[in-house]
Amino acid sequence: MTVLVTGGAGYIGSHMVHALADAGESVVVIDNLSTGFSAFLPESVPLFIGDAGDENLVEGVIAQHQIDSIIHFAGSVVVPDSMRDPLGYYRNNTMTTRSLLNAAVKGGVSRFIFSSTAAVYGNPDQVPVPEIAPTRPLSPYGSSKLMTEIMLHDVASAHGMGYVVLRYFNVAGADPQGRCGLATVGATHLLKIAVEAATGQRAKIDVFGTDYPTPDGSCVRDFIHVSDLVEAHRSALSYLRGGGQSVTLNCGYGRGYSVLETIEAVRRVSMRNFAVAYAARRPGDITAMVADTGRLRSLLDWTPRFEDLETIASHALAWEEKLFRERGGLPRQAESA
Ligand SMILES: NC(=O)c1ccc[n+]([C@@H]2O[C@H](COP(=O)([O-])OP(=O)(O)OC[C@H]3O[C@@H](n4cnc5c(N)ncnc54)[C@H](O)[C@@H]3O)[C@@H](O)[C@H]2O)c1
Ligand SMILES: O=c1ccn([C@@H]2O[C@H](COP(=O)(O)OP(=O)(O)O[C@H]3O[C@H](CO)[C@H](O)[C@H](O)[C@H]3O)[C@@H](O)[C@H]2O)c(=O)[nH]1
């Protein structure tokens, strides 16, 4: 039984591939390297450089490697880019998955795990947000993922495929062994920006909005360590292998931290008092987004190991320091746009 990981050279996918290989699973990767890095993959894992929507490629890999499960990370992930280029997002998220599913059905793949996002909820009526909350995405990114969820449900029902949709909240941190982490140039994630400031690559970090109706006025997010997130995928795979019903699950810890608390955690672990500036709200930001994790915790055999925000921040920092050293210690991008 071999697992195909699409987008396995990306931030989350590379952690997934290491976790599967560490567990002795047979795994292969398809990635077009548009934002991924082949260097983050274990040498033992075959990498097919190509598009996850290339049906000939996928059908060939499924047949050659006797793929029975697919974990599908490949896609485009930047919310503001999706506002500028909606059709690009519907193509690379929704249409690519349609082609991938077509190849999976033809190849008799019986299990499918899909990377979705809390962005499908839009502005939630209640926090923590349960999976049954209304889905009202505010961006083409969120819509492209929601459309894919619906398509996957229909395809799986028609063809006897089991699936787990995982709606990630805010993914952060890096491999505790330092093998992989977030390396995307120009990434906009809060913790990434904060560790770039802590390593002197940025003069400051902007806090987008301090007048939200939250305890300290900044937005609140539920950060999940990338290693715990990939363990949820491994548990989802075991669940499907054990005959579990198809399901949609939130992936977070169910605990919110404000933007200011998060920046303070990075200041503490780095022991660097980098500058923090108060800036205007960022258009489209949701005030508070925290997962109701009841379903995840009850259905999957999942015990998170890195729930503490300082642990997440310290792993993100260690990874950023490594990247910075390897890039010759030179600032590689302008301070926040
Ligand atoms: N990072 C987050 O906070 C977050 C939150 C919610 C959901 N997600 C989802 O998780 C998945 C992985 O995100 P990530 O943060 O690791 O992003 P990433 O950009 O680091 O990884 C995406 C990977 O997919 C590859 N790729 C993109 N389009 C492809 C295609 N058509 N064919 C083959 N390969 C392709 C890229 O080269 C890259 O290696 C995405 O589907 C994303 O929407 C991420
Ligand atoms: O320099 C920064 C960067 C971020 N923020 C704030 O930090 C919070 C979190 O912002 P992120 O960009 O890190 O993440 P989002 O909550 O916007 O999440 C969106 O982007 C994520 C990846 O970045 C996931 O894709 C997620 O599903 C999607 O909803 C927001 O209030 C944002 O305004 C700042 O104040 N300053």
- pLDDT of 326: 87
Helical spans, DSSP H, in the chain:
11-22, 55-65, 79-84, 86-89, 96-106, 140-159, 190-198, 226-241, 259-270, 294-299, 309-326
pLDDT greater than 80 at residue 335: no
Each residue's pLDDT tens digit, 39-58 = 999 999 999 999 999 999 99
CATH class, 190-221+254-291+305-326 region: alpha beta
Q: Phi and psi for 315 in degrees, rounded to 5?
A: -70, -40
Question: CA-CA distance, 145 to 66, in Å (whole number)?
Answer: 27
Task: Quickly count: other Cβ atoms within 10 Å of residue 102's Cβ.
Answer: 15
Measured from the CB, is residue 97 less than 6 Å from ligand 1?
no
Residue 333 has a pLDDT of 37
Q: Is 141 a catalytic residue?
A: yes
What pLDDT is attached to residue 328?
66
Atom of ligand 1 nearest to the CA of 74: 24
Catalytic residue among 89, 121, 141, 168: 141
| Protein fold of 2-171+224-251 | Rossmann fold (3.40.50)
Q: What digits encode the pLDDT tens for the residues 272-322?
A: 999 999 999 998 889 999 999 999 999 999 999 999 999 999 999 999 999
| Ligand 2 mutation target, pool 189, 202, 262, most atoms within 8 A of CB | 189
Q: Which of 5, 30, 31 to mutate to test the pocket of ligand 1 (most atoms within 8 A of CB)?
A: 31
* Residue linked to tokens 């301070």: 335
**Which pLDDT value is given to residue 274?**
97
Q: In angstroms, what is the span from residue 239 Cα to ligand 1's centroid?
A: 23
Q: How far is ligand 2, taken at its centre, from the CA of residue 151, in Å?
A: 27
What residue spans define the domains of the chain? 2-171+224-251, 190-221+254-291+305-326
pTM of the model: 0.96
The pLDDT of residue 36 is above 70: yes
Model pLDDT, residue 329 = 55
Reported as a single tens digit per residue, the pLDDT across 221-264 is 999 999 999 999 999 999 999 999 999 999 999 999 999 999 99
Q: Could you tell me the two tokens for 99?
A: 């082609």
The answer, yes or no, to whether any atom of ligand 2 lies below 6 A from the CB of 190, is: yes
% the chain with pLDDT above 70: 97
Residue 334, pLDDT score: 31
Q: Work out the pLDDT band at 331, boundaries 50, 70, 90.
A: very low
Largest CA distance in the chain: 56
Residue 10 beta carbon below 6 angstroms from any ligand 1 atom: yes
For residues 103-124, average pLDDT: 97
pLDDT recorded at residue 80: 87
pLDDT at 336: 31
13 lines ligand 1 (CB under 6 A): yes
Q: Quick one: pLDDT band at residue 187, thresholds 50, 70, 90? A: confident
Complex confidence, ipTM: 0.97
CB 168 near ligand 1, within 6 Å: yes
| 100 contacts 113 by C-beta, under 8 angstroms | no
Tell me, what's the pLDDT at 283? 83
How many whole angstroms separate alpha carbon 95 and alpha carbon 13? 20
pLDDT at 92: 98
Q: What pLDDT is attached to residue 185? A: 83
Residue 267, pLDDT above cutoff 70:
yes
202 C-beta closer than 6 A to ligand 2: no
Could you tell which of 12, 96, 113, 224 is best to mutate to test the pocket of ligand 1, judged by most ligand atoms within 8 Å of the CB? Answer: 12
